[in-house]
Structure 1
């Protein structure tokens, strides 16, 4: 393949743009905010699960408390009714009076037991409410940190994307004046060689693989016409000759 020396030099400019685009893509992928967001999202998921569990416990306690209070009200109402019967004098039979008094005593004990249950449930509910409040605050705090990290990531990505778009536009302009067949070869080699398709020959060394060329290879390059597109025998990348090639 042949190409004007100036076009071969421009190929180095295209390569420089491609290297810069690779660097920008790597920086975008490696932003510390990505790891930070991942960690915060994991923490947020765990805390939200704990919050749901605490809210469920509080809700269960609320229903249990309501049921226990209803039981107390039923016993209290029944005891009040029995006491009213006792106080009214309507019950005159000693046996019935004894039975009524016994029932009032039993209801009083039952009411006391149920009120103890209510207190115990209230304590558990209060503990659950405190847990809900604590976890709600922690979730809000972590969410704020996550939102901040996302905002920082998005800002960094926007800046990098803007720079990448600018570099890509410059590359397009330079690549547009390089012969199509040379660009096609370059792109093919770049895909095969880790992003480097063309390299400068500097002081007899290929800047692509960093290997010094053999004497015979240098002799062939010296004898090649200026418009001949030469390749490194070691890495097969396009070798671009300049005044610094040491030929």
Structure 2
């Protein structure tokens, strides 16, 4: 009987003590700051040819530039990941006379190149993992599966190859809400692919300006 009388008294004393400790639970760092986690990012935007590639083959930008990346975000301000991209350039020239196989052909020339880089990516971040705005820089290297196609009317000269590619980027990720899983990504990336064939004799240089969405989990 005495135990029954004492229990409400003990409970009344313990509730204020628990209430004082409860705010500390909400002040704990986010799991994204405490643990390594993963981020998947889908990007799309423009490709801009530069350097000898622009002056010798295609000088028009494209809006057909896409990529998908998955990154392992470490507890340190770095991440490692893999990115697969695709950029397609095309440019049509006015009809002209070309010399092909010791004969002259009057045709409309269409120049295209299809790039699909697969790169390992190392990123460095300038803010904590759960910051609403998280700027970053990247370096990347890998292989580019490309298809070079040069059309003279319906006649085509085509070459497919796998070439070394590397690049660097700067961008930022923006969370839609604190501790959220979804956000936006803005990035400008420089890519260079080694390639030497026909009109392209000093590699393929380009800038990719993209916006995207990311999803993170742990």
TM-score (norm 2): 0.23
More helix by percentage: 1
Which protein shows a greater Rg? 1
Q: TM-score, normalised by structure 1?
A: 0.21
Structure scoring higher RCO (CA < 8 A, sep ≥ 6) equals 1
